[in-house]
Structure 1
Amino acid sequence: MTNVPETGRTSRVQIRLVMVQVLVLSMFITLGGRLWYLQIRNGDEYYHEAKSNHVQRVVRPAVRGQILDARGVALADNETRLVVSASRTALMKMQDKGKGVMTRLADVLDMTPKAVMDKVRLCDSKTPKPCWNGSPYQPIPVTLEATTQQALTIRERPEDFPGITAEPTAVRRYPAPGGARTSQVLGYLSPVTDDEIQKAKDTDSPHLRSDQVGRSGIERTYDRQLRGKAMVTSYEVDNLGRVMHQTQSDNGVPGSTLVTSIDARVQAVAEYELQAAMKTVRHEVDNITNRPYEADSGAVVVMEAKTGRVVAMASQPDYDPNAWVGGINAKDYANLTSKGSNYPLLNRAIQGQAPAGSIFKVVSASAAVRAGYDFDGKYNCSASYDMGGRSFANFESKGHGPITLGEALKFSCNTVFYALGHKEWKKDGGLTPKKDAHDWFYRTAREFGLGAETHIDLPNEVTGRIPDRQWKQNFWKANKGAWCKQGKKGGTYVEQIAYESCLEGNQLKAYDSINFAIGQGDVLVTPIQMATAYAAISNGGTLYNPTVGKAVISANGKHVEMIQPQSHGKLPIGAKTIADLDRGLRMVVEPGGTAAWRFTGWPMDKIPMHAKTGTAQVYGKQTTSWLATYTKDFVIVMTISQGGTGSGASGPAVRNLYNAIYGLDMEGKQDLKKALLLQPEAKLPKIRPDGSIDAPEIRPYVPPSPEVPEPPALAGPPAARPARHD
């Protein structure tokens, strides 16, 4: 064996190490050079290529949930239509801003080019309808009613219609079952705005640009539940638009179904009867102004007395909510927002304010008892009440002598309540109120829920007004400057009132309290407030929050969230006073009562009826009709602005409503098969295994035959005439 010298072996190892080092160094130099080439030498080129690869999101909006009545009948649902939409972003990138495309599109859709261009222009303060008030980055519907041939033409010629799509889409529909529009209760939809998208960005219910959102009614209140969550799929695409791969997918959630407490059958009757009552009184002459009643607006509320759930709510004038679907046209928008149409978008059941008139007397009677007066004591019902040289007359200047508070409700005697209001004003110090003034009448009104929201689940409810001492002071401060400028001593009536208001408009005067006691003066109430108060009398004293929503059901039918009745207070009177009021209100429909002539033949033994009529006076207008009624299960309150007396204008409609609910004819005979709702609907609609709802059929309302003409009202002496006032 030959021995290798140690020095030779070491030299070879060193040579190998050097070669390895050189190889490694060469690799690093090559890699570094390549990185320099890619990042420095050609960095901009590759940056722009990488930038052109981007993520595209494909959004498929969730189908909006249905709105059903208490039995499952659809009040709002969806239907599939062929929708033609335009991408404003794509059109604006074209050299002619898309005019050529829109002109060709107009020809296909049998529209004018201007009509198409108006559809895709953006709304602002100067742009009239139609215009687009949603996000400019989402597809803008041009028509929701394209024919199959029109859609095929657009899809088969994409080169002629860049930025235009035509595809089947679920579109909102308001079917008006049985003729029940339910307009102001349902509300309407319109596209989401960029501002709304930003505000909802970090919430648990963010908006997508494709969303339609509720703008009024329960479409707005329950928008989050009805809207669901859109399906969003994200793709990475290259600069040629080719999909490289899917990066993310969110399956979305369909909108939930909202079951309401509305009964479409009762709603149809309420709408018809309110409109019919208004048409009828327009043919009657107002004895004060000697011209026909204008009956310019009205409202009716049907409510469950024991829960506050709304069974029907109608407001006139009304509108067709389908007008908003897909964007409203200029003519319809003008009709809905103009003074000439008297603003149909207003829900006068929760937004219409007027003096309460005599239906307010349940509050005054309660206040009197709280102040120490005996409900069954005797109070003088004179033909007029004199105070400081001024005379305040009974309606029709008729007196009844000494009567109880129950009888004061029966005859609607103003002078009894004038005297009580005046006495309490003096006890509280009159023009110089005591520090411990009780203000029983004003306190009781507020504790009946007046002058405040009822917390109904509908947006934009108004509060009405209770003109107590604090309100007088605040109102005077706000208006003193204008009054002092307008006022003139010894001038016209308006100028004289302004003059007096300038000097002492902050004082609660005797005539303020006298008028307040009969629901007049500066008192303002809404139909929903009065329905809530009368429901509390019926149910034993609980003031419920009125509700339209009853339950939210998930799209698959597996999850049900009940919307339970909630209370916002109790009446400020005991069980005895409530029973006394109940007794007095029953007398109103019994012989001699102001509503008796409208409830002739009513089966009081089977279905006890209670009512209060009211005729409110408004300066510069004809009288406003009020009628508040209840049974053990239901409350109905109706009002007609400039419609005359309570029993005269509203009486027939309210009677017909009750007849339909209980299956009665005008003689009081009951046919249970014809009854719409003998008692409130307790169960929810039946849900099928697939989540769909088993809905019954509904027939249009057939109004009863016209009443037999009444005998002449002027026959006989005044005392023998039917008591029809208020």
Structure 2
Amino acid sequence: MTNIPETGRTSRVRIRLVIIQVLVFSLLCTLGGRLWYLQIRNGDEYSHEAKNNHVQQVVQPAVRGSILDARGVPLADNETRLVVSASRTELMKMKDRGKAVLAQLAGVLDMRPQDVAYKIRLCNNETPQPCWNGSPYQPIPVTNKATTQQALQIRERPEDFPGITAEPTAVRRYPAPGGANTGQVLGYLGPVTDAEIIKAKTTNSPFLRSDQVGRFGIERTYDKELRGKSGVTRYEVDNLGRVIGMARNDPAVPGANLVTSIDARVQGVAEFELNAAMLEARKQIDRNTGVPYKADAGAIVVLESKTGRVVAMASNPSYDPNVWVGGISGKDYAKLTAKESNVPLMNRAIQGQAAPGSIFKVIPTAAAVNAGYKFDGEYPCPASYSIGGQVFKNFESQGHGSITLGQALEVSCDTVFYALGHKEWLKDGGLKPKKNPAQIFYKTAHQFGLGAETHVDLPGEEKGRVPDREWKQRFWEANKDGWCKTGKKGGTYVELLSYENCLEGNLMRAGDAVNYSIGQGDTLVTPIQMATIYAAISNGGTMWNPTIGKAIISADGKHIEEIKPEAHGKLPMDEHTRQQMVGALEGVAVRGTAAWRFGGWPQKQIPMHAKTGTAEVYGKQTTSWFATFTDDYTIVMTISQGGTGSGASGPAVRNVYNAIYGLDMAGKQDLKAALLLHPEAKLPTIQADGSIDSPEIRPYVPPSPEDLAPAPLAGPPAPPAARQD
């Protein structure tokens, strides 16, 4: 075997190393070139493609909690409907901005193309309803009443309906059990707006673009609890839309149920009787004008006297809250906002402001006692009271001789309160007020809670008005220029009034004080304020915040949060004065101005107390007021331009009490027929699966004409004049 020289072996190794180095260098060059190609030459292209690999969110809307009456009857719940929605984002990408697709969709849904287009246009200050007030990036409902056949046409032909979906969806329902509409109390839902989404990001309850939120009523007050939390599943998808994997899954949390103190049966009775009373008032002739009463609006409030909880609250004219479900139509929106409809959206129980008339007299009565006048003292009740050359008449110019303050409440004697109001005005300095005048009549009204909110758990409550000297000054400063411009000495009544207000509208005149003493003039109250006051007179003096929410119960029934009643003050009178006032108000029902409406009432078993009121408003017909209470319940009712207190409102209030206690007009009681002998104490049961144990409810059957035949009075007949207050 021949040996290879050492020099030859070394040469071969070197050659191999060179080859390897060349190969490595070539590979490095190839890799570097490829990296240059990917990152520099085509970097923007691949970066754009990488961005298309993103996370896609799929939202599962949370089931909104039900709103229940005190016994568990649903006032608002959910039902599954086929909802057809349009993606505005997808439609706007099309050349014709989706017009062809929407026209084809309109044909399937049996709608006009214009109506479909209106549904998805965005709201602004100039766009009338219907329009979309929510986020433009979420699917916009076109209809929630699609049939199965219509939904199948859309889903089976997705190429013909790009951006259109048809899905079974839980939507809000307001079933009106037993005829209890409860519209203004419940409120309605609307789509969340971008502004709300941005604002909510700073809170622990953020919105999703698909959320529906409460817009009015207790749907708004308790929106956070009712809404729950929508579920969100996040999928990773590539640029072709293919799912790569699941990034995160947050399941939906259903909203809690709200139990209210409303009793659907009593609510149905209150709504029916309020409407019936207004219809009846329109048949009566106003003796002052010779034409029928307009009875254009009204309200009734039923409270638990001892807690302030709301058992029923009705406002008329009313509306069906179901018109808002799925987006309100232009026709329905016009009805709700038209002047001739008299603003059905307004809850007149908390927003309707009017002079209270004689139901206000409990306040100057308490003020007089606080000022040193004796409740059982003797006070003249002449047919009229004169101040200078101006004469203020008693109702129907009826005089009653010398009477006590209690008797003045019974027969609703105006002149007793005229004299007291005038005397206190003089003590304060009259037209030249003292420094820091006592203003006892006005101060007491503030202490009764007037001119302030009652803190009812509903949005939009009005405060009313106590026209004291400070208010007079502020009002004059705000309106002086207008009065001076339109006022005219020796002109019409309105021109002369403007002229006088221009010169001295900031002064508290004797006439202002006198009119105020009987709840007239510039005084404004709401029905809920007066109901709170009369409930306080009944319960020992506590002014409770009127409350509708009673408890919040989780969807599975395991967690219960009770909403305890809270008070906002005590009546400014001692217990002895309160008891005297309670006795006088019982006298109103037994032998005073309300006695003719409570004939046959079982006074010994169920003591009834009442106060009638007829408020005069310049340029309008009189406003009817009726305030009442028993040990358990307080009811206040008012009808704008409806006539007298006991004449227009009295029968309806009596019928509501009859239904609550199971009474007929003769005072005979049927316990089985009684709707609510005592306020509901127990909470309804909600099962673990979310089902609710709720009793059946039947519509209210009003008494027949035979049942409404006059019954004998519970005491001596009231004087004819007193019967009409």
Q: Which residue of 1 aligns with 2:209?
A: 209
Structure 2: 5+ residue stretches without partners: 1-13, 711-716
Task: Tell which deviates more after alignment, 145-154 or 470-479.
Answer: 145-154
CA contact (8 A) 2:556 2:686 kept: no
CA contact (8 A) 1:87 1:139 kept: yes
Shift of 1:256: 0.9
Shift of 1:23: 10
1:252-295 Cα distance to aligned partner (Å, 9 max, x none): 21111111100000000000000000000100000011110000
Letter in 2 for 1:297: A
Identity between Structure 1 and Structure 2 (%):
73
The separation in 2 between residues aligned to 1:199 and 1:234, in whole angstroms, is 24
Q: Which residue of 2 aligns with 1:551?
A: 551
Provide the secondary structure at the position in 1 that maps to 2:75: strand
Aligned CA distance change for structure 1 residues 719 and 112 (closer, same or farther; 3 Å): closer
The separation in 2 between residues aligned to 1:167 and 1:719, in whole angstroms, is 66
The separation in 1 between residues aligned to 2:687 and 2:428, in whole angstroms, is 64
Aligned CA distance change for structure 1 residues 385 and 100 (closer, same or farther; 3 Å): same
Q: Which residue of 2 aligns with 1:260?
A: 260
- Residue 371, structure 1, aligned to residue 365, structure 2: no
CA contact (8 A) 1:615 1:646 kept: yes
Aligned CA distance change for structure 1 residues 719 and 349 (closer, same or farther; 3 Å): closer
Q: Which residue of 2 aligns with 1:669?
A: 668
Q: Which residue of 2 aligns with 1:695?
A: 694
1:569-623 Cα distance to aligned partner (Å, 9 max, x none): 11111111111110110100112x0000000011110111100000000000000
Aligned CA distance change for structure 1 residues 629 and 720 (closer, same or farther; 3 Å): closer
The separation in 2 between residues aligned to 1:196 and 1:579, in whole angstroms, is 51
Q: Which residue of 2 aligns with 1:457?
A: 457
Q: Which residue of 2 aligns with 1:112?
A: 112
Shift of 1:153: 1.1
Q: Which residue of 2 aligns with 1:284?
A: 284
Provide the secondary structure at the position in 2 that maps to 1:589: helix
The separation in 2 between residues aligned to 1:286 and 1:482, in whole angstroms, is 33
Q: Which residue of 2 aligns with 1:57?
A: 57
Letter in 1 for 2:550: K
The separation in 2 between residues aligned to 1:399 and 1:254, in whole angstroms, is 65
Letter in 1 for 2:55: V
The separation in 2 between residues aligned to 1:670 and 1:617, in whole angstroms, is 37
Aligned CA distance change for structure 1 residues 264 and 719 (closer, same or farther; 3 Å): closer
Structure 1: 5+ residue stretches without partners: 1-13, 712-717
The separation in 2 between residues aligned to 1:707 and 1:488, in whole angstroms, is 57
Summarize the alignment of residues 293-304 of structure 1 with structure 2, pairs less than 5 Å apart.
293-304=293-304
1:28-67 Cα distance to aligned partner (Å, 9 max, x none): 8776655444322331122011011111111111111111
Aligned CA distance change for structure 1 residues 37 and 475 (closer, same or farther; 3 Å): same
The separation in 2 between residues aligned to 1:24 and 1:554, in whole angstroms, is 70
The separation in 1 between residues aligned to 2:271 and 2:24, in whole angstroms, is 91
Aligned CA distance change for structure 1 residues 152 and 567 (closer, same or farther; 3 Å): same
Q: Which residue of 2 aligns with 1:600?
A: 599
Letter in 2 for 1:191: P
Provide the secondary structure at the position in 2 that maps to 1:399: coil
Shift of 1:692: 2.1
1:226-251 Cα distance to aligned partner (Å, 9 max, x none): 11110111111111111111111111
The separation in 2 between residues aligned to 1:568 and 1:631, in whole angstroms, is 22
Letter in 1 for 2:403: I
Summarize the alignment of residues 23-62 of structure 1 with structure 2, pairs less than 5 Å apart.
34-62=34-62
CA contact (8 A) 2:380 2:402 kept: yes
CA contact (8 A) 1:597 1:722 kept: no
The separation in 2 between residues aligned to 1:462 and 1:685, in whole angstroms, is 32
CA contact (8 A) 1:557 1:692 kept: no
The separation in 2 between residues aligned to 1:710 and 1:58, in whole angstroms, is 65
Provide the secondary structure at the position in 1 that maps to 2:341: coil
Q: Which residue of 2 aligns with 1:649?
A: 648
Provide the secondary structure at the position in 1 that maps to 2:723: coil
Q: Which residue of 1 aligns with 2:507?
A: 507
Shift of 1:693: 1.3
Shift of 1:720: 5.7
Provide the secondary structure at the position in 2 that maps to 1:291: coil
CA contact (8 A) 2:409 2:585 kept: yes
Letter in 1 for 2:252: G
Shift of 1:125: 2.5
The separation in 1 between residues aligned to 2:277 and 2:192, in whole angstroms, is 39
The separation in 2 between residues aligned to 1:199 and 1:71, in whole angstroms, is 37
Letter in 1 for 2:582: D
Q: Which residue of 2 aligns with 1:684?
A: 683
Q: Which residue of 2 aligns with 1:250?
A: 250
Letter in 1 for 2:266: V
Q: Which residue of 1 aligns with 2:638?
A: 639
1:102-144 Cα distance to aligned partner (Å, 9 max, x none): 1221121122222222222222223222222211111111111
Q: Which residue of 2 aligns with 1:5?
A: none
1:544-568 Cα distance to aligned partner (Å, 9 max, x none): 1111111111111111111110011
CA contact (8 A) 2:593 2:718 kept: no
How many positions carry a matched residue from both structures? 709
Shift of 1:27: 8.5
Shift of 1:26: 8.9
The separation in 1 between residues aligned to 2:331 and 2:251, in whole angstroms, is 40
CA contact (8 A) 2:472 2:505 kept: yes
* TM-score where L is the length of structure 1: 0.94
Shift of 1:176: 0.4
CA contact (8 A) 1:480 1:501 kept: yes
Aligned CA distance change for structure 1 residues 720 and 550 (closer, same or farther; 3 Å): closer
The separation in 2 between residues aligned to 1:526 and 1:29, in whole angstroms, is 88
CA contact (8 A) 1:57 1:234 kept: yes
The separation in 1 between residues aligned to 2:665 and 2:49, in whole angstroms, is 83
Shift of 1:208: 1.0
- Residue 161, structure 1, aligned to residue 199, structure 2: no
CA contact (8 A) 1:395 1:725 kept: no
Letter in 1 for 2:515: N
CA contact (8 A) 1:558 1:691 kept: no
The separation in 2 between residues aligned to 1:288 and 1:605, in whole angstroms, is 39
Letter in 1 for 2:80: T
Provide the secondary structure at the position in 2 that maps to 1:685: coil
Q: Which residue of 1 aligns with 2:10?
A: none
- Residue 538, structure 1, aligned to residue 552, structure 2: no
Q: Which residue of 1 aligns with 2:528?
A: 528
Aligned CA distance change for structure 1 residues 710 and 258 (closer, same or farther; 3 Å): closer
Shift of 1:389: 1.4
CA contact (8 A) 2:557 2:685 kept: no
The separation in 1 between residues aligned to 2:718 and 2:557, in whole angstroms, is 63
The separation in 2 between residues aligned to 1:416 and 1:111, in whole angstroms, is 66
The separation in 1 between residues aligned to 2:647 and 2:26, in whole angstroms, is 107
1:656-680 Cα distance to aligned partner (Å, 9 max, x none): 0000000011011111000000011
1:369-401 Cα distance to aligned partner (Å, 9 max, x none): 000000011100111111111111100100111
The separation in 2 between residues aligned to 1:719 and 1:111, in whole angstroms, is 62
Q: Which residue of 1 aligns with 2:621?
A: 622
Task: Tell which deviates more after alignment, 600-609 or 24-33.
Answer: 24-33
1:623-662 Cα distance to aligned partner (Å, 9 max, x none): 0000000001100000000001000000000000000000
Letter in 2 for 1:362: V
Shift of 1:705: 1.2
Summarize the alignment of residues 2-21 of structure 1 with structure 2, pairs less than 5 Å apart.
none
Task: Tell which deviates more after alignment, 34-43 or 673-682.
Answer: 34-43
CA contact (8 A) 2:396 2:721 kept: no
Letter in 1 for 2:104: R
CA contact (8 A) 1:81 1:169 kept: yes
The separation in 1 between residues aligned to 2:194 and 2:453, in whole angstroms, is 31
CA contact (8 A) 1:178 1:701 kept: yes
Aligned CA distance change for structure 1 residues 388 and 155 (closer, same or farther; 3 Å): same
Letter in 1 for 2:421: G
Q: Which residue of 2 aligns with 1:409?
A: 409
